[in-house]
């Protein structure tokens, strides 16, 4: 993709992701195995525990050869010391297991915001609004038309009132109005679905990249729902489209430190104050694909909530490539030559995304791939990296690790390349493509519209594994893996609070070729 910015310099964005599965670094493979099997655990069970048991046996006077008598003798007589020693060993083993067991984190339910019908805007409606604005040059208008018709967005996405107003009202009041509508709409739906009471919320995490008012968005929620004064609230900003998974990861760690607690996560983006009305084409891509949306999730570490929860969190893997200058600068909020603020996309974007994805997938692989896939992958990697043999790299089959894929609907070109690199089928890519078509790029919340689509189609069965993967500015790539605790029936009416309830019967739709 090539275009000219306001200074007439040609900017090119490489449309193809690098083949990130063809080149991996051993340090990320090592990191992945460190996530699933760390040194402390190995030392505990391989060294310290056997030594401890052997010491107790010697102190008790129980000979090792008598252990076989448990299976060969019809009756086995043990003295008091031996019985007490055995009981002590059993208690120690149970204590170690109890102390080391991971704290389960359950996703009780989630809800996605569906704006009112009067917020809908078609592709032609968007182009007409852009034309009527009068602030764009003719070449810029033609550029937006080309992008919009190839973007994969449909005619039922949503824009906030401040942008569609004539003239546009890009002010703090409208931005707050958009934030309140999205966040409160998603939370009201979540409360209806779960029966959650405001005073039960112990942790609140809100992520919104580009709108960070004072008081914060999390404070808006605390005030609106009159949450309790000791709530642990967090407001994440500037972290891009992958911030939703970051919020889930933060909630996981907070729940591990705070037993018997509910955590609510709200993921959204605010468009009103971040709509770009200049002619720098590197900043206009966001206008063409970003749309209004948000989601709210209820997480719990209460054992009793397992029976009513939809999913259990299995893994989170976060990758941050911000130490590299190209990665840091590839998605950058700045002013154009005329002082208008926008988010620019650099020519290195696709290469940076590929590198971050490669790192994240390599780290995640050892935790989720079947043993057969890991052995094939490691054998090929050792031959290539250590033995310097010329062998064709083995690409692990992630389809064997997951039943469902929720890939951030960041744009059609990225989805095309991810499908090619991961060798996914059209059905596996369907939630992402249909979410992009129906709702557009809703930033960090898009993963939840995709999961809602999968549920609306009745495809989630007990034991299924779901992979959510998103990437965003910084540059970051983050993954979350969930396991379904129950089979989920498709919605029977709009009262189900699934955003797809009234339209899923029309999907999937055929996307015109770009």
User: How many angstroms separate the CA atoms of 105 and 247, rounded?
Assistant: 13
Catalytic residue among 274, 360, 408, 498: 408
304 contact partners, CB below 8 Å, separation of at least 6: none
Instruction: State whether residue 333 is helix, strand or coil.
Output: strand
Catalytic residue among 208, 270, 437, 477: 437
Strand (E) or helix (H) holding 30: helix 26-36
Q: Give the pairing type, strands 294-300 and 262-268.
A: antiparallel
315 is catalytic: no
Burial class (CB in 10 A: 0-12, 13-18, 19+), 442: buried
408 is catalytic: yes
Phi/psi class of residue 440: alpha, beta or left (left: φ > 0; alpha: ψ in -120 to 50)? left
Catalytic residue among 270, 279, 441, 498: 441
CB atoms within 10 A of CB 122: 13
Catalytic residue among 235, 320, 478, 498: 320
User: How many angstroms separate the CA atoms of 410 and 330, rounded?
Assistant: 15
Task: Dig out the tokens for 171 from the structure.
Answer: 């002010």
User: How many angstroms separate the CA atoms of 141 and 60, rounded?
Assistant: 86
Question: How far is CA 351 from each of CA 37, 86, 392, rounded to the nearest angstrom?
Answer: 31, 59, 22
Catalytic residue among 274, 330, 404, 406: 404
- What sections of 264-411 are H helices per DSSP? 281-289, 325-329, 349-368, 371-385
241 is catalytic: yes
Strand (E) or helix (H) holding 151: none
Q: What are phi and psi of 479, to 5 degrees?
A: -125, 145
320 is catalytic: yes
* 410 touches 471 (CB < 8 A): yes
Q: What share of the chain is helix, strand, coil (3-state, %, to 5)?
A: 50, 15, 35
65 is catalytic: no
Q: What is the DSSP string of 164-224?
A: HSSS---SHHHHHHHHHHHHHHHHHHHHHHH---GGGEEEEEEE-SS---SS-HHHHHHHH
Catalytic residue among 208, 241, 288, 330: 241
Among residues 104, 100, 17, 15, the alpha carbon closest in space to that of 361 is found at 17
Instruction: State whether residue 476 is helix, strand or coil.
Output: strand
CA angle (93 as vertex; 91, 95 as ends), nearest 5: 65
* Catalytic residue positions, numbered: 241, 320, 404, 408, 437, 441
């Amino acid at each position: 993709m090539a275009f000219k910015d306001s200074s007439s310099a040609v900017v090119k964005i490489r449309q193809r992701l690098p083949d990130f599965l063809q080149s991996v670094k051993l340090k990320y493979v090592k990191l992945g195995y460190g996530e699933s099997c760390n040194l402390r655990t190995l030392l505990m069970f391989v060294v310290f525990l056997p030594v401890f048991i052997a010491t107790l046996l010697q102190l008790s006077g129980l000979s090792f050869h008598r252990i076989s008598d448990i299976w060969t003798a019809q009756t086995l007589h043990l003295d008091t010391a031996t019985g007490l020693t055995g009981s002590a060993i059993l208690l120690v083993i149970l204590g170690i297991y109890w102390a080391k067991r991971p704290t389960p984190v359950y996703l009780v339910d989630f809800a996605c915001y569906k704006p009112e019908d009067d917020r809908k805007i078609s592709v032609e409606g968007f182009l007409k609004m852009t034309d009527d604005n009068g602030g764009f040059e003719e070449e810029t208008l033609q550029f937006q038309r080309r992008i919009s018709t190839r973007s994969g967005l449909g005619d039922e996405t949503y824009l906030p009132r401040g942008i569609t107003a004539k003239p546009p009202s890009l002010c703090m009041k409208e931005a707050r109005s958009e934030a309140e509508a999205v966040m409160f709409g998603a939370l009201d739906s979540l409360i209806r679905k779960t029966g959650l009471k405001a005073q039960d919320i112990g942790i609140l995490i809100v992520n919104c990249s580009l709108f960070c008012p004072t008081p914060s968005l999390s404070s808006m929620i605390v005030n609106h729902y009159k949450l309790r004064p000791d709530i642990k609230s967090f407001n994440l900003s500037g972290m891009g489209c992958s911030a939703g998974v970051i919020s889930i990861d933060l909630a996981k760690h907070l729940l591990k430190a705070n037993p018997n607690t509910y955590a609510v996560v709200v993921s959204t983006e605010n468009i009103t104050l971040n709509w770009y009305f200049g002619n720098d084409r590197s900043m206009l891509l966001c206008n063409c694909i970003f749309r209004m949306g948000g989601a709210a999730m209820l997480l719990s570490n209460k054992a009793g909530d397992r029976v009513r929860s939809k999913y259990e969190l299995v893994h989170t893997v976060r990758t941050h490539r911000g130490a590299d200058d190209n990665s840091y600068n590839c998605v950058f909020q700045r002013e154009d030559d005329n002082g208008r603020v926008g988010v620019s996309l650099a020519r290195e974007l696709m290469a940076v995304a590929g590198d971050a994805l490669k790192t994240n997938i390599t780290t995640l692989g050892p935790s989720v791939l079947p043993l057969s896939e890991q052995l094939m992958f490691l054998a090929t990697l050792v031959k290539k990296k250590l033995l310097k043999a010329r062998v064709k790299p083995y690409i692990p089959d992630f389809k064997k690790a997951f039943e469902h894929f929720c890939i951030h609907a960041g744009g059609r070109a990225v989805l095309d390349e991810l499908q090619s690199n991961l060798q996914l089928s059209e059905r596996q890519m369907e939630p992402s493509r249909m979410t992009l078509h129906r709702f557009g790029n809703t930033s960090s919340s898009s993963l939840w519209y995709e999961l809602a689509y999968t549920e609306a189609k009745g495809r989630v069965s007990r034991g299924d594994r779901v992979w959510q993967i998103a990437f965003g500015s910084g540059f970051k790539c983050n993954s979350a893996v969930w396991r379904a605790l129950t089979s989920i029936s498709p919605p029977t009416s709009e009262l189900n609070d699934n955003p797809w309830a009234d339209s899923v019967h029309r999907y999937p739709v055929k996307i015109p070729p770009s």
